[in-house]
Amino acid sequence: MPGWDIKPDAVRVVLGNTRDKAEKLGEELQAYATTMESAAKWAGTMIQGEAPKGGAFGPVAGALGEFGKNTQDDLRFLIVRSAKSIRGAAEATRCYENGALEMAQNAQSAAAQAPTPKELKGEDQK
């Protein structure tokens, strides 16, 4: 694309740093799920005395479960979107270095699109 003047080595450094942060995000989201489960387990019930066999959940546990269920797609979107952006920027930079500016523009445009339902399900990973 006319007017591009990037420094590929600097882009690689930024992409590496971004990839590291995205990986940590994935770890944090795993910890989030575990913490939500633990919080629900220990939130208590409205039953006096001993809980029935198999456990019992009170209103706080129910609310935490609903919150977790209703946010999991948003959190998955963040992970997939981050990966797609990183891959797209790397591809656009490779094309730029090879002088394929139209391909670089196409890669950049594709990376800017929101993840597709297939990508969100992990079915369209490159």
Give tens-digit pLDDT for 10-65: 999 999 999 999 888 888 888 888 888 888 877 776 666 666 666 667 788 888 88
Q: Is residue 54 part of a domain?
A: no
- Look at the alpha carbons of 43, 46, 51, 56 in this order and tell me if their dihedral is positive or negative: negative
Q: Is residue 55 part of a domain?
A: no
Q: Is residue 3 part of a domain?
A: no
Number of separate domains in the chain: 1
Q: Is residue 50 part of a domain?
A: no
Q: Is residue 45 part of a domain?
A: no
Q: What is the pLDDT of residue 6?
A: 85
| Count of CA atoms in the C-beta half-sphere (13 A) of 5 | 1
**The pTM is what?**
0.68
* Rounded CA separation 124/9 (Å): 28
Q: Is residue 70 part of a domain?
A: yes
pLDDT in tens, 99-119: 887 888 888 888 888 888 888
> 25, 78 in Cβ contact below 8 A?
yes
- Outline where the chain has alpha helix (H): 8-42, 59-97, 101-111, 117-120
Q: Is residue 56 part of a domain?
A: no
Range of the structural domain that residue 26 is part of: 8-35+61-116
